[in-house]
Amino acid sequence: MANRPELTLDPPNWDDVRKTGHQMVDDMIDLMRDIRQQPVWKPIPEDQQHRFDELLPHRPQSLESVYRIFKDNILPYGTGNMHPRFWGWVLGNGSHVSMFAEMLASAMNPNVGLGNQSSVRIEKQVLDWCKQMLNYPKTASGLLVSGASMANLNALLVARNHQTGGSVRRFGTLAQGKQMVLYCSTETHACIQKAAEVMGLGAAAVCKIPVDRNFRIRTDLLEKSIRSDIAGGLLPFCIVGNAGTVNTGAIDPMDELLAISRRFGLWFHVDGAFGALAKNVPEYAHELKALEEADSIAFDFHKWMHISYEAGCVLIRNADAHRLTFEQSPNYLLQHERGISPDIHSSGNYGIELSRGFKALKIWMSLKTHGIFAYSALIRQNIAQATHLAEQISQHPSLELMAPPGLNIVCFRYIDKKRPPSELQYINREILMRLQEKGIAVVSSTIVNGCYALRASICNHRSKKEDFDLLLEHTVQTGDELSALEPVKMFAFTR
Ligand SMILES: Cc1ncc(COP(=O)(O)O)c(C=O)c1O
């Protein structure tokens, strides 16, 4: 031991690291600046596949050479969501501020689970800003989490614990001796059912209520179900409202859901993964006003605020209910009067995780650099772009709008009156794949009223009007090419 040099991960020469680090910064700035010139997406070439199947590295290699592999073999083959013509699923672009903040947070590397330190204070500050953004009570609690799936789970755990007087924590789900039920529309994101399954309530606990022709929950049917479940000896505990459904961007009638939940003494949770942030857009302020009264809200920063993945948030109106769901005081987390641990496991008392990264910094830096007005203006711009896209689609003889555009989501398809619905489905599937593979644009898909639809979800601060025109031009052109083929040839493409 005495004669051996002591080991460290620090480099022997910091100047080499500095040089490579500066190169990384330069390259990433160039990448963001020039992203429009790149294809939206590229498949990983066959001859690169081995890069993803290497054996565990035993020996060191230089940071510079590892970075070169990243730049040549990893960087070009991402999801493509940095690009101005990426409108698949609900993915934000990211930004230079968020990128730098990730580096700074990582260098500092604090554990936000530990009390008396700046990262905890910055997270608290960000949570306070979230409450201000949504006009939610100052006394509410909250937590930054990886995304809306986790935020929804956190909120539903609190709902369940609170609505059962805390007995679930001690005795588990059997404590009630009754099937607990939560209500949401058939258009609700799958993470709500997953949460119910993970919570041990089972998928049977999720009562999916049909929607109207604008894809909003039918509140008359909701009330009827609650009454009949109570009469049948079940235990309704929560209503989940959608502030922007994932399929079509529909906003459930928040006022009515709030009123129903109050009438029956149920928890009212809002899944506002992307749509909650539209509350700051004047046209939507009224429709989303009832969020202020919700018992809990889940939303994301990595979608419509373009913070780098991952960044989601849950807010809980009743901070005590939140704490009582998760609080523990094990011996190794004792609090002290002074030092680093006066409030040692504060965030652990509000969620599942104990050790947590400094997600708050990228949100804090982005909000300080851009200001909330910039985000509201961009959200408004995306909604206007969705309206423009929908108008273009409705006026085009070869295109069909599949649902009323909601917020920033437009569902549509290529049509050719000569082709039966089954063939249209194949044609549209093929259009989607070709647009992606040619790097022209990325849209995703969904099923609307039983029909396959192309789906553009516009969470993009880089998109311009011309990008949407290009999408439609290539959709129609590709659709015409495919539709000119005999059905047999067409099927050969898609199998
Ligand atoms: C309405 C809605 N809820 C929940 C989620 C899940 O969010 P995340 O992927 O951040 O977990 C999404 C994702 O698109 C969504 O659109």
229 C-beta closer than 6 A to ligand 1: no
pLDDT band at 1 (very low <50, low <70, confident <90, very high): low
pLDDT score recorded for residue 345: 60
Q: What is the DSSP string of 14-37?
A: HHHHHHHHHHHHHHHHHHHHTGGG
Q: Which CATH architecture has domain 112-354?
A: 3-Layer(aba) Sandwich (3.40)
Predicted pLDDT of residue 203:
96
Pick the CATH number of 18-41+78-95+371-495 from 3.40.50.970, 3.90.1150.170, 3.40.50.300, 3.40.1360.10: 3.90.1150.170
User: What angle is formed at CA 9 by the lines to CA 5 and CA 10, rounded to 5 degrees?
Assistant: 90
Q: Is the CB of 90 under 6 A from ligand 1?
A: yes
What's the one-letter identity of residue 115?
G
**pLDDT above 80 for 175:** no
Query: Nearest residue CA, atom 10 of ligand 1?
Result: 147
pLDDT value of residue 495: 43
Q: Domain spans of the chain?
A: 18-41+78-95+371-495, 112-354
Compute CA 89 distance to the chain's CA centroid, rounded to the nearest angstrom. Answer: 9
pLDDT at residue 490 tops 70: no
**Nearest residue CA, atom 12 of ligand 1?**
273
Q: Is 149 in the pocket of ligand 1 (CB under 6 A)?
A: yes
Smallest Cα–Cα separation from 254: which of 217, 221, 281? Answer: 217
Q: 458-477, pLDDT tens digit by residue?
A: 999 999 999 999 999 999 99
pLDDT at position 243: 98
For residue range 241-290, list pLDDT tens digits in order: 999 999 999 999 999 999 999 999 999 999 999 999 999 999 999 999 99
What are the pLDDT digits (tens) for 286-306? 999 999 999 999 999 999 999
Q: Which of 193, 247, 300 to mutate to test the pocket of ligand 1 (most atoms within 8 A of CB)?
A: 300
Q: Is residue 2 predicted with pLDDT exceeding 80?
A: no
Q: With a 6 A CB cut-off, is 300 part of the ligand 1 pocket?
A: yes
Among 275, 184, 179, 260, smallest CA distance to 227 is for: 260
For 136, other C-beta atoms within 10 Å of its C-beta total: 24
Q: Evaluate whether 350 touches 127 at the Cβ level (below 8 Å).
A: no
18-41+78-95+371-495 and 112-354: same fold? no
Residue 141 pLDDT exceeds 50: yes
pLDDT score for 488 = 59
What does the block give as tokens for 374? 């910039």
Q: Strands of 146-204 (E only): list them.
A: 180-185
Q: What is the pLDDT of residue 305?
A: 98
Mean pLDDT of the chain: 95
pTM listed for this prediction: 0.96
Give 436's pLDDT tier (boundaries 50, 70, 90). very high
Q: Find out whether the beta carbon of 269 lies less than 6 Å from any atom of ligand 1.
A: no
**8 Å CB contact between 111 and 355:** yes
pLDDT over threshold 80, residue 122: yes
pLDDT of 319-335, one tens digit each?
A: 999 999 999 988 988 88
Between the CA of 276 and the centroid of ligand 1 the distance, in Å, is 12
